[in-house]
Structure 1
């Protein structure tokens, strides 16, 4: 019995040979049109060249879809950036410090179509200690805010801060955004964004823009802090 009979040539052997012999089809160019393959678009047979062309068209189509996704995401990011800029402008134009929390909440609702928003600040200067935004914040909420190194986005897990909203019973998802001075680990405020849509704020969403909101909001509200 011959060696070839004991060890028949396998498809892997053929594949290895073609990979390691790049000039094979150069010496046997006639095979490029003679070898027939089954097309994935029906049961018809196509030449190796036709199959390569089909694969190239599929790759081009996939790349086109990716480019369209990139353009769409870019446009969405531009829209959000414009809204963020308008929100920041509103804060800059708010002359009265005690009007800032309301301006922040109202701006978020109008610019980003957030159904419910609440803003609370603590550790404020004595002149603002009696304002509604400085009242009704428990130590537990303050501890929670200080523990948020990044915005929380996800389901409403019965957070105490949700009770600040006008209609807490209709909250399915929330974004909790801590307000702090730069890298200070202790937060001095908390923004609550809420929606009845369970997917409006979800764990898989990006928080880059929410973090920019936190930075802008914190800088604006620093006017309420003791000098």
Structure 2
């Protein structure tokens, strides 16, 4: 699909990769962007751009009522970007409890599922596209972010199933695989880090190219992906040495 004249909805639009998606979409000539965040006050800095194409939308992706309300309000969406994410960066066993693991699944798996289910009828009218912001940890387990890795692996499996189901209505579904980016979340991961612009540019280029698959975003991501493809056990073995810090 073409980005120009599209109507987008970006979850987690207030910062990081979400904000970069918004900025790049504006540059590519979208008609409108619903900028979604749990607290719309956090969008104040973004809205200072003064662009009338930005429409703030209160949206907690784990709240069924807010998801339904968003689909009702934003019935003209042609591009759904499931970007909102949560990471606790803890081990599966070393974490004090399972609260963060449940939160990661709620945001990173059930959130995109709920949004895509809600907007599937809307996208059926336009063909449209869905972008799910995943991670290279969808493919590789990292013990120091164990339950986050699991939630992103679930997200990748979900993305592939959604792609198959929505193919009949002509909806394009792209999963974005990327290593750590230079964001508040990515700052907890080791350097070097990707520029958010590099991730978003590759993702939007894939949408415009008609890609209906996963896209490995950024040169650093592609390097790791190539190494993983060549020798999955070697790369996974290296990652398994990255254990969570003991209290």
Q: Does the pair score TM above 0.5?
A: no
In which range does the TM-score fall when normalised by the shorter chain? under 0.3
Bigger helix fraction:
1
* TM-score, length of structure 1 as denominator length: 0.28
State the structure with more CA Rg.
Answer: 1
Of structures 1 and 2, the one scoring higher in RCO (CA 8 A, sep 6+) is 2
